[in-house]
Chain A
């Protein structure tokens, strides 16, 4: 075996070993409960630190120390979250409890709609489709209210994590560079330049994408709240929160978010339902045609068809979380491919 063949064999063995180690680590982390819990806390802390980092950079440009700026930002964010927790959270919990009783009203509307459809003709197929739609919608609504209550209650149960996360976020912000340099030791020396470049590019693109998505969701949430408040629709906080949350998902999110608002508005009166749906449609058009092009960077640079496929795939794999993370994961893959393509040729 010549020198070149031996070198190639070595490289292949190295790559296989790396992949095998990653898979082994993933299996261990997934199955060992303690490690899983730890990884979740670290991941959530990292995401929060990642989102807050631009604010820290801005404070540092004004001359504030790295550690002091981290403390200031965490302090302000904690106060903000505590205010939300004590003002919004109880109303959200109360509304979600009452929402289950309102589902009966929505069911009555669906039954009356079903009767209208049945009255149009005696076609067995149409009747079957209609009853399937009713059953699935009923299940979805029951599951939604049960899951929402469970999520809200379990958020209160994770008190330990809530106190630990700000501390971890502080260390990620103040000593992030040191941690990053120490983690880089895992990467082979010759590849460190490539990995550094990939991580730098990922930071630049993902940071702006995440902040813009959150900003758009907050704006949509506030505007939806104002619309529902004006038309005196029940559960405005819960519905606007839901619409804001679902708005993070491109293309499908606004539709998923608008449906509960419209259904709730219809329980008040048909006229309110129509007005709310018109206003929500105008909101979505404003967000899609005015706000988003101004705020969203074209660095994402993905064809809308590809985006839709990714969202469907993400939804099938991991539900709502999958749909939220489908686009960032695709951005990461695209950046890695671009950089490898650059360095390989």
Chain B
């Protein structure tokens, strides 16, 4: 299978990715992505360990040596980041209390793991016809239940539109 090298990743790229150590031993698969919202970076990944027991562990991005189809890590160090599932589904409002959509995905770069943008989903048919709105991380405040946009990006609006598979 032809493998692409990307510059911007989404959480779905890592979901169910195999994790191995430097000796090639299979450790488990990635179950989720951990975020540090204050610094706006991807902090680590949730590892679902191999075997029937289904133990969950967290790995730090500093331990990730490389990843492609399989992720190679050096050590299972402790990571206490908040999982992406906590902000997935959160509603996004602007300063006029208009609901803009729900968080579906995040874009982050693979060198510094910096979160660049959030993808919003508004509704199944609206997403197909208009596309999913992409909001830059700079203007957002993440709260306990919702997310607030500080200033509306009126000059340029980013959308991810439907294209061929």
Contact = CB atoms under 8 A, between A and B. Distances in A.
A106 interface: no
Contact of B132 (A204, A295, A296, A345): A345
Nearest to A338: B12
Given A201-B16, A204-B16, A297-B48, A345 B31 contact: no
Contacts of A294: 52-54
A215 interface: yes
B48 A345 contact: no
A29 interface: no
Nearest to A193: B1
Interface in B2-25: 2, 10, 12, 16
Interface residues of A, number: 25
B54 A297 contact: yes
Interface in B37-76: 48, 52-54
A193 B2 contact: yes
Contact of A343 (B26, B53, B54, B165): B165
A191 B165 contact: yes
B127 interface: yes
Interface string A209-232: 000100100000000000000000
B52 A212 contact: yes
Contacts of A125: none
A297 B164 CA distance: 33
Nearest to A205: B16
B29 interface: yes
Interface in A278-310: 294-299
Contacts of B139: none
B52 A215 contact: yes
A196 B131 CA distance: 26
Contacts of A345: 119, 127, 131-132, 160-163
Interface string B121-165: 000000100011000000000000000000000000000111111
A344 B165 CA distance: 6
Given A196-B1, A299-B31, A342 B10 contact: yes
Contact of A295 (B12, B29, B52, B127): B52
Given A295-B52, A299-B31, A345-B132, A194 B165 contact: yes
Interface of B: 1-2, 10, 12, 16, 26, 29, 31, 48, 52-54, 119, 127, 131-132, 160-165
Given A344-B162, A345-B119, 4 more contacts: A11-B164, A204-B16, A295-B54, A345-B131
25 contacts: A11-B164, A190-B165, A193-B1, A196-B1, A200-B16, A201-B16, A204-B16, A205-B16, A212-B52, A294-B52, A294-B54, A295-B52, A295-B54, A297-B48, A297-B54, A298-B31, A340-B165, A342-B10, A343-B165, A344-B163, A344-B165, A345-B127, A345-B132, A345-B161, A345-B163
